[in-house]
Amino acid sequence: MIWIKRGLLTVLVLILLIVIAIFATGNGSVLKLVWDFATGAPALPFDPEAQPAAPPDYSDEKNWAALPWSEDEADSVPAGVTNRWTQGESPVDVFFIHPTGFLKGSSWTFDMNPDTSTEENTRWMLANNASAYNGCCNVYAPRYRQASIFTYFSVEEPERETILGFAYQDVARAFDYYLQHYNEGRPFVLASHSQGTHHGVRLLREKIDGTPVARQMVAAYLIGGGVEKGKFDGLSDITLCDSPEQLSCAVHWDTFSVAAIDDQEAAPNVCTNPLSWKNDGPLAGKAMHRGAVATSGEYHVQLSGDDAARGVVFEPLAEPLPNYIEAQCRGGKLFITDQSDTEFGTQGVLGFSYHGLDYPIFHMDIRDNAILRVDTYLANRRNNAPSADGQ
């Protein structure tokens, strides 16, 4: 019976991707991606002992995609924007968990080879996602044995959770190492995207909420990945953000074109409007949009063939485009101005889903809001600090 279900799942995914290919591009290369999705998954069952890499040692800096004292793509700043802190000098950190860059079916988890297209995809995420936090924080981003993209399309529960749980072990160990060896008691922001958000939500529940570490967390930007509201049930220290300055809270959204607003099925997911920072926020106009930033470098989408590095070059980030979109939450999803005929129309777009634009289209909104929450946290700490006489 389980094989019948998997076969049906593959057929449904194939049909979905063919429809997207026809209506989105009509491109033959997209049809090849459809075929690869349907036929290229690794063999089952998943065997943790047979994965192609040993657990990464986080005392070795090669296992960090970004560190404050290293030169990496997370240092990128949009043209015309000036940071007040040099990396490594901010009083606040960000622990960033990158999303899926491993798009091959050679194994269920990444082999941690740095000379790969997967690694270049990780660098793309640093340049275009993690960089939004270098205005507030020192950026720490672990590399990890991330799950293959096929985990999301070729297996059902609970196998998917088993594979993702394997990847989460690395993230959890990296976070422990960060706290013990790098953090030195500083406040921190937790941030993520997509697969990283899957791990970030679990990290929030298992390593932060209900522990002394919760007092250090400024906020959690757990973006992309369809996080249900129920994931925040039962938390003692962390709530969902409902205002721009709120602390000890989490934000999340999944971005779609407003052209599909009447066709999308409602979902029980968290939707923070990043123009107003309201939970389930109503329509916010373009005047509230701080700015989109065009992506730098190429995110390489190839689901078959070798994983060799392509020599991707990451140019400096472009100047922000303010007042560019409007946004609204409806049915657990965030709908923005349609990008079909814009420079963003080919960046991170799959049909009406703008998953790859969750960060770039809101780069300045995230950057400015993270600075605001950090400033609020630091001001509160100063105001609540005991005086010289202990009062």
Asked if 118 and 103 count as a contact pair (C-beta separation under 8 A), the reply is: yes
Q: Which two tokens mark 8?
A: 């049906």
The predicted structure's pLDDT at residue 14:
43
Amino acid at 89: E
Q: Which residues contact 372 (CB under 8 A, 6 or more apart)?
A: 244, 245
Q: What parts of the chain have a pLDDT lower than 70?
A: 1-39, 347-348, 385-391
Report the distance separating Cα 288 and Cα 302, nearest Å.
37
Half-sphere exposure of 148 (CA within 13 A, CB side): 27
Q: Which two tokens stand for residue 374?
A: 């950090």
pTM score, two decimals?
Answer: 0.91
Positive/negative CA dihedral, 378, 383, 384, 387: positive
**Residue 294: count of CB within 10 angstroms of its CB:** 19
Whole-Å CA distances, 206 to 97, 166, 172, 236, 246: 16, 15, 9, 12, 22
Look at residue 384 in the predicted model and tell me its pLDDT.
Answer: 85
Long-range interactions of 81-89: CB distance < 8 A, separation 24+:
81/135, 81/320, 81/364, 81/367, 83/134, 83/135, 84/135, 85/135, 85/136, 85/138, 87/134, 87/138, 87/139, 88/138, 89/138
277 half-sphere exposure, CB direction, 13 A CA radius: 21
Please state the domain extents for the chain. 1-39, 48-383
Contact partners, residue 284, CB within 8 Å, separation at least 6? 273, 275, 276, 326, 327, 328
Q: Mean pLDDT over all residues of the chain?
A: 90
Q: What is the pLDDT of residues 67-89, one digit of tens each?
A: 999 999 999 999 999 999 999 99
Amino acid at 355: H
> How many Cα atoms sit within 13 Å of 187 on the Cβ side?
25
